Amino acid sequence: MTDIQNHSKSEAQSLEHYWMPFTANRQFKANPRMLAEADGMYYKDTSGRAILDGTAGLWCCNAGHGRREISEAVSHQIKQMDYAPSFQMGHPLAFELAERLAQISPQGLNKVFFTNSGSESVDSALKIAINYHRANGEPTRTRFIGRELGYHGVGFGGISVGGIGGNRKAFSQQLLPGVDHLPHTLDMQGNAFTRGMPTTGAEKADVLEQLVALHGAENIAAVIVEPMSGSAGVILPPEGYLKRLREITQKYGILLIFDEVITAFGRVGDAFASQRWGVTPDLITTAKALNNGAIPMGAVLIDDKIYDASMQGPDGIELFHGYTYSGHPVAAAAALATLNIYDNEKLFERSRELEGYFEDAMHSLKDLPNVIDIRNIGLVGAIQLSPSNKGIGKRGFDVFERCFAKGTLVRATADIIAISPPLIIDKQEIDQIVNTLADAIRATD
């Protein structure tokens, strides 16, 4: 019996105990989709069927799957030293990785705080912002401003500044106080089928001025936005919007946090979206593709001024925050190997080079039934479908299932299908994803 057959044999016995995250558990368990292997651009499911990965896992595996360089680095490190305490002790790999990240980060963001996920990166960045203002003699700056439709993970901090109703409603009485939201930038009336960044909508950043007038700049710690919203369905910033946010935050001494958990490491054609759009925030949150999804890891990149201010107080711990696994040696080894691959294979540049081809392929779906918008940048795109009369999300899920049945993994969020393949993808594989999608959209009522 092969490994794959062994897996499928045990499936029936083992499904009931695992409560799956962000999953319709009953629906899944009635009709499971199980992945067992991965190599290059492909998964294999438990029956041995090849599945083309149109989503880089969950926006993680930008260097493709089964990278020998990463598995060898992990295997070497786990033998050399499996774990080192992260509090009051160090190990060289964490420092090396921090240095490597500082080398590719936007100017000034030279300090790195390690976490284990995007959610933890977000909560860490929010705390670092408050800690900075206290150290800087402005302890009343504690409010946060997020944005509608923003996704910042699932910690209480993240869902508080996040703007996806479904993630907040069940917990609404216990969200952080002192949070406001900017309007989102999706304009389906004016900007549907825009290729790349929409040209209108930058003025939506000006709502920040109103929030400053309402609360007083002296009470606001930070604004947090995804430079491009990923989870809510690939919502691009209008031209000039991020620059405007930067100008207003700078004017009032408010920190700007870019949540780049999805956009970092080449997804939009540069190491960071911040670089693609020429706007430098004070903090950047990352995770996912940091080590190609191989081992849970996240990082917050921090401007020198924040770190320096925080080092001014009396001797002792400067930030009462951290994780048992911050800078985990095995995760760090995986990240260093991943950064080498990105560099050696010029994968960030590849994302930019393939952007035009990917864009044309995505927009070729424009005239299919129920397609109401297509958005794209770098190697990420979304097709928005109108909801069917069976309910919101049914049509999107149907397309997702049909694609999977035909051997292609796409991601459905409500009725939006997001495509974010590994950056090693070639043109023929882009065609394959788009052709499968076209058939699935045509077949779905």
CB neighbours (10 Å) of residue 322? 15
Give the residue, chosen from 46, 117, 124, 326, that forms a contact with ligand PLP under the rule CB under 6 A.
Answer: 117
Q: What are phi and psi of 333, to 5 degrees?
A: -60, -40
- How far apart (Å, rounded) are the C-alpha atoms in residues 424 and 444? 30
Other CB atoms within 10 Å distance of the CB of residue 87: 9
225 interacts with ligand PLP by CB under 6 A:
no
Half-sphere exposure of 438 (CA within 13 A, CB side): 14
Q: Which two tokens stand for residue 415?
A: 């009725």
**Stretch in the footprint of ligand PLP (CB under 6 A) among 118-126, 141-149, 174-182, 358-366:** 118-126
* CB closer to ligand PLP out of 125 and 254: 125
Residue from 37, 45, 226, 270 that binds ligand PLP (CB under 6 A)?
226
261 binds ligand PLP (CB under 6 A): yes
Asked if 276 touches ligand PLP (CB under 6 A), the answer is no
Site string for ligand PLP, 169-208 (x = CB under 6 A): ----------------------------------------
Establish if 378 lies at the interface with ligand PLP (CB under 6 A).
Answer: no
Site for ligand PLP in 1-60 (CB under 6 A): none
Tokens 């994803």: give the residue.
433
233 binds ligand PLP (CB under 6 A): no
Residue 398 Rama label (left phi>0; alpha psi -120 to 50; beta) = alpha
By the rule CB under 6 A, 122 interacts with ligand PLP? yes
For residue 364, give every residue at least 6 positions away whose Cβ sits within 8 Å of its Cβ, in sequence order, or none. 434, 438
Q: Does 395 bind ligand PLP (CB under 6 A)?
A: no
Segment near ligand PLP (CB under 6 A); pick from 64-72, 151-159, 243-251, 314-322 = 151-159
Indicate whether 151 belongs to the interface with ligand PLP (CB under 6 A): yes
Q: Which is nearer to ligand PLP, 97 or 122 (CB)?
A: 122
Distances (CA, A) of 406 to 235, 290, 434: 27, 30, 12
Instruction: Find the radius of gyration of the CA atoms of the chain.
Output: 22
Strand order across the beta sheet in which 283-286 lies: 111-115, 298-302, 283-286, 255-259, 220-225, 143-147, 179-182
The residue at minimum Cβ distance from ligand PLP is 118
- Quick one: how far is CA 253 from the chain centroid? 27
Site string for ligand PLP, 281-320 (x = CB under 6 A): ------x---------------------------------
Residues lying near ligand PLP in the complex (CB under 6 A) are found at: 117-119, 122, 151-153, 226, 230-231, 259, 261-262, 287
